[in-house]
A and B are shown apart, each in its own frame.
Chain A
Amino acid sequence: MRKLYSCLILVCATAAVTIVLYFTSNKGTVTIKDCTRVSRTPTIKPDYTGTVIPPNIAPLNFAVLEPGTRYLVKIYSTDGEPINITSRTGKIEIPLRRWRLLLNNNRGRQLSFDVYVKNKDGHRSTGSRLEGWSRYETITNTIAKEDIDSYLVYRFMKPLFNWWKNIGVYQRNLENYENKAVLHGQLFSYGCLNCHTFLNNTPDYMTLGIRSPEYGSATLFVANGKVQKIGTKWTYTTWHPSGRLAAYSMNKVRMFFHKTTMEIRDVIDLDSALCYYLVDSQKIKTAPGISEKDRLETYPTWSPDGRYLYFCSAPILWTDRDEIPSELYNKVKYDLRRISYNVETDEWGQPETVLSAEETGMSILCPRISPDGRFLIFCMCDYGCFPVYQASSDLYLMDLWHGLPAREDTAKMAVPQYSKLPINSEYSESWHSFSSNSRWLTFSSKRLDGLFTRTYFSYIDENGRAYKPFILPQKDPTYYDSLLQTYSVPELITCPVEVSKITLARAVRRPAKISPDIPITGATPKAGHTEDPWQSRE
């Protein structure tokens, strides 16, 4: 009896496997002349058409939005076997191994998608002839020669107003779909974390800002796997390429709300200045050129050679630095400045204006320089300091190898060449950063719906041309359709953050190991103290 049952189970299992294989297997080659040609490309979601993609990117799974009962997609390039995928729902999930092989073997070449859709009134297929099928124009993308950094670190949270509860910083392997938390606020009583910064696109040196009513405001400083808690909150941070110091901004930031605009949130820095932290001496210092009493300095970024600190600076238009100035909030516009620095002698030069708000008529924010030192990409928006809340925020590129004055002792440079990138949308683009090889730009965009920030990638070639961006691929192509969280502040790194979230959480909950004196007095937050109204709830 037992043997009979065993045989029965074996037969059923074999039958089940056979059926599954039958329905999931490819059905031979396609005879093009048997299909109806449709003279346009199919509508797919996400939009992976006409882009340049890295050869090491995870499969660009997508959904075909054409009506039909069956779908067939053929993915091919010059070399290698094409990938044929069938689907009944229109969701196309590309096998990872074959995708990787195809891309790797065709660097610098075209990647094509042929999409076939079986019409609702079509007939069954017989053998290799497809009857009742339509074939759309081929979708073409280009496979770049250069890889993108393998990991993306980003902040994941819902659109926040005053309260926060569920914020995490995550790292995503761009070569597949693996996603892991670097740290989550749940591990320290639903605190806030932000401003993750890396040295030279590696996690060897990393900083992470923490806000918690229970554990205070602080900065986690990770150096070669060791975590230290610095008892002061660094906002926007930039590592000197030598790793010997980090410059950061201290911001007295306040949120307020509009009544009638599409984006009702807005942010103002009532006060801000720049400081820098010396790793060896564990001291915080500042310099007159980066902390002027009558100016707001923010968004520092080092040049790759470490000789200049670029930052944004605006005149303070109000005297009361505790009240949100209802009349002047939209008059604040930041200039782009830079100041020279000698890392050996710790000496600063005089600040010089790279690009002024007066010339552009807009507020210049978030400068980031490509690691090869060639391009500087920044945001410009109508006013203010927080581009992600401004639909007018767009990305611009400045070619630093052209337009610089021959003499470096002038207070103001000649107007450098810059241009608006063609990758912008009607909504906010911001929070951009470069890959380690300077060829890939990642940035946040609200282009899909005007509300939720998503992460995009764009190829920047040697001449500074930016190619059509594509969205971070997901295993489920409809993932973004109902995602209520935002992907914010994307940063590319070459290898994963190895320090565990447990270690980081433990560091948050400990008292600060380093409590340096802050050289700036006045309206700057005290160490370990959460002052701003963005608070956690229990």
Chain B
Amino acid sequence: MRSTEQKMTSRSRNIHDGSIIFFVCFYLYVWLLIEPCLIYHGFGTFIAYPAFSVDWEFLKSSLSYPGGVAEYIGGFLSQLYYFSWLGALVATAVAWLMYLAAKILVRLSALRRPPGYGGQARGRLQIICYIPAVMLLMIHNRYDSQLTPFLSLLAALWLSVVYEKMTIRSNVTRAAVFLVMFALLYYIALNASFVFAFIVTIYEFFAGQRRVLKILFPAAAISTYLAAKYLFAIQTKAIHLQLLLARLSFDPWVKNIVICIYFLFPLALLAAVLWSALRTRHTDGEQASQQGGQAADKSEMRAKHKSSKARKLRWFFQNNKAARAIETTLPIFILAISIFVSFNGTKKKLVQVDYFAHQEMWPEVLQTARRIQPKSYDIYCIHDIDRALYYTGRLGDEMFRYPQNLSALMLTVKAKMLSDRMYLKVSEFLLELGHIAEAERSAFEYMEIAGSSPLVLEQLATIKLVKGQTEAAKVFLRALSKDVIFGHRGREMLQRLEKDPELANDKRIQYIRSVASNAENISEVFGDKFFSELLDKNKNNKMAFEYMMAFYLLTGQLEKVVANIGRLNDLDCERLPQYYEEAMVIYMAKSKKQDLSVAGWQPRPETIERAKKVGGLYNLYGGQYNEGRIRQALGPDFANSYFLYYVFDIPRILGAPGTRR
């Protein structure tokens, strides 16, 4: 029969096995399913950009304020997310280190009991060690990383381990060491120092038993907070949220998790320690009565216990095999639950759409968009779908296959509703269209709000190059050159500028210059004037034409669709896109014309027949009130038609955002 010690070692090994399995699963999950490269793509678009630059000035600046060290390291490690396997490794390493530190803390803080008494309880308490790792995983599930606060927590945990492992007996020395560590951690990781104080206070209360220190540590933490707030006039949110990347409110999950990062583990540790202390006292009581030599009482007690369901349950948990099985599988179970609860598959797909759009992988944009429930489309997704349709030559034929939204088409929303991401998308879109001034303005707004991410630096450099402001462009390119991942792009462009200052061989720059509007006015209204300015500059601006037509189709301005059909000749189009054709037919019907030919373009007879069919069913079933029946009667052939959109959706589109299908 194995000794208690052997059982303990065996149980530790099993726990160890459980953690290994946990972290292997963790790594594979993050790498293959979450794909950290998508999170990297989200930096500066979906989530705040973790600033990092490889120059001394940035390092000096980071070292000059509390929390800067954590931000610097977090910023650097975040860059590694560009490579999914490496990002997953970073996340797993951080999670594992937090787990390890937590495990040591539980062991040191919870129980100083002889083996056999604390062993089982200690084993079960290991569960709480997974809390930080699970929270990190949940954040990744939301397509955010928030490495900086987790690094801060990691620093707090390990500094707590160092403190608790010290063998210094003198209270004064321990207090001095604590204060130094506290100050150091405050400098490195700001509010994680309060977590450190909390944890070591728990230790001193339950394990250290040093009365003076129990009071001193929380007093120091509170004093620091009060000093920061009242003496140094640091605002409360700056103290607490300094290390939290901005714009948390976009995902309440992330916001809540990040705020809980600093509290959950210490509170769980406290709860665990209290539970353990109560349990141990109860066990001591039992033991005392047993040691009194009252065997008969003992058997009487046993008998009492054996008679209840709770007794059976207790027996089950005291059974070594069952306990081992639970301790091994429980972490995996927790992992699965946290994934299930926090994972947002729709968000992943939306991020993928954005990612593919940025990479100009247009077919992939559409493939991914088709996997998203239409009701889950946001305006960015719809906008990217429209761009993908344009670039694949299908905007005039398939845009109504997807939910459409007027605001999404041109990204025209009120200023107060603008997100950081909107500014960058607007800038990219308008640059392609040829509206350079608005593209520039949006890019600068983005840079001020969201920081100098490589995306915006490249965008501003491109804009300045289009405008011929080469020296200004070089400033952005040199700044871009300091980026860990995209620095090569900056350096390559600078080299190209040395050889070709006018970028005469750069097709993209030359194209944008050819379509750039030269109408000088201070109107900011999108609409007829906006498009006509662009087409006046270059009648071959296909994007401006197709978006103009899409705008007219979305708003039901049939006469303008018809009036601009002739521009197809400027673009050397060979066929009339489906929606233009259908719009012409509707226009014919409304203006009671028998036939219609515009600049050599006219609708085909079969399209006119289709229109008649729609009109016939519309009248038969009573119009707007029987949309469902009409659609059903028409069948899937008409699902993509402009006829139905015109009849049923235009009133909704013009009134509210989003379209129901």
Contacts and interface: CB of A to CB of B under 8 A. Distances in A.
Interface string B404-418: 000000000001000
A162 B437 CA distance: 14
A264 interface: yes
A90 to B, nearest CB: 16
Interface stretch (B149-157, B211-219, B384-392, B477-485): B477-485
A260 B481 contact: no
A324 B472 contact: no
A161 B519 contact: no
A24 to B, nearest CB: 18
B657 to A, nearest CB: 22
A448 interface: yes
A482 B520 CA distance: 31
Nearest to B464: A451
B440 to A, nearest CB: 6
A482 B58 CA distance: 12
Given A163-B449, A260-B517, A482-B475, A509 B233 contact: yes
A326 interface: yes
Contacts of A261: 520
Contacts of A187: 233-235
Residue picked from A161, A187, A506, most chain B C-beta under 10 Å = A161
A199 B449 CA distance: 34
A257 B475 contact: no
B526 interface: no
B493 to A, nearest CB: 13
A1 interface: no
A188 B235 CA distance: 8
A3 interface: no
B445 A502 contact: no
A329 B521 CA distance: 12
Interface string A319-331: 0000010100100
Interface in B338-354: none
Contact of A502 (B233, B518, B520): B233
Given A161-B448, A476-B57, A260 B475 contact: no
Given A482-B478, A482-B481, A259 B519 contact: yes
B297 interface: no
Contacts of B165: none
A314 B638 CA distance: 65
A483 interface: yes
Interface in A67-109: none
Contacts of B472: 449-452
A157 B456 CA distance: 17
B474 interface: yes
B606 interface: no
Nearest to A186: B238
A163 B445 contact: yes
Contacts of B467: 262
A257 B524 contact: yes
B232 A161 contact: no
Contact of A160 (B448, B469, B520): B448
Given A264-B441, A326-B522, A479 B57 contact: yes
A532 to B, nearest CB: 14
B65 to A, nearest CB: 10
Contacts of A324: 522
- Which interface class (under 10, 10 to 19, 20 to 34, 35 or more) fits B? 35 or more
A165 interface: yes
Contacts of A186: 238
Contact of A259 (B238, B415, B517): B517
Contacts of B435: 259
Contacts of A260: 436-437, 517-520
B56 A476 contact: yes
Contacts of B643: none
A407 interface: no
B448 A482 contact: no
B343 to A, nearest CB: 29
A320 to B, nearest CB: 15
B444 A448 contact: no
A476 B59 CA distance: 14
Contacts of B233: 187, 502-503, 505-506, 509
B307 to A, nearest CB: 62
B282 to A, nearest CB: 51
A401 interface: no
Nearest to A507: B233
A413 to B, nearest CB: 37
Given A161-B444, A260-B518, A451 B57 contact: no
B471 interface: yes
Contacts of A505: 233
A482 B522 CA distance: 31
Nearest to A329: B522
A451 B469 contact: yes
Nearest to B480: A482
A163 B231 CA distance: 30
Contacts of A264: 437, 440-441
Given A158-B447, A162-B415, A258 B437 contact: yes
B516 to A, nearest CB: 8
Given A259-B521, A484-B479, A159 B444 contact: yes
A215 B435 CA distance: 37
Interface in A475-509: 476, 479, 481-484, 502-503, 505-506, 509
A452 B460 CA distance: 13
A164 interface: yes
Contact of B469 (A161, A188, A450): A450
B475 A452 contact: yes
Contacts of B178: none
Interface string A426-451: 00000000000000000000001111
A158 B524 CA distance: 23
Contact of B522 (A158, A160, A256): A256
A537 interface: yes
A451 B475 contact: yes
B191 interface: no
A476 B475 CA distance: 16
A503 B231 CA distance: 9
B452 interface: yes
B99 interface: no
B476 interface: yes
B448 A449 contact: no
Contacts of B524: 257
Nearest to B468: A262
A151 B57 CA distance: 21
A166 interface: yes
Contacts of A424: none
B36 to A, nearest CB: 27
Interface string A257-271: 111111010000000
A479 B475 CA distance: 11
B157 to A, nearest CB: 29
Contacts of B517: 259-260
A189 interface: yes
B54 to A, nearest CB: 11
15 contacts: A158-B447, A161-B444, A162-B415, A163-B445, A187-B233, A188-B235, A262-B469, A326-B521, A326-B523, A449-B469, A449-B474, A481-B478, A483-B475, A484-B475, A503-B233
Nearest first, the 9 closest Cβ-Cβ pairs linking A and B are A449-B471, A482-B478, A451-B472, A482-B479, A449-B472, A502-B233, A506-B233, A259-B437, A264-B437
Given A259-B435, A259-B522, A326-B521, 18 more contacts: A158-B444, A160-B444, A161-B441, A162-B415, A164-B448, A257-B437, A257-B441, A259-B436, A259-B437, A262-B467, A452-B475, A476-B56, A479-B57, A481-B475, A484-B452, A484-B475, A484-B476, A509-B233
Interface of A: 158-166, 186-189, 256-262, 264, 324, 326, 329, 448-452, 476, 479, 481-484, 502-503, 505-506, 509, 537
Interface of B: 55-57, 231-235, 238, 415, 435-438, 440-441, 444-445, 447-449, 452, 464, 467, 469, 471-472, 474-476, 478-479, 481-482, 517-524
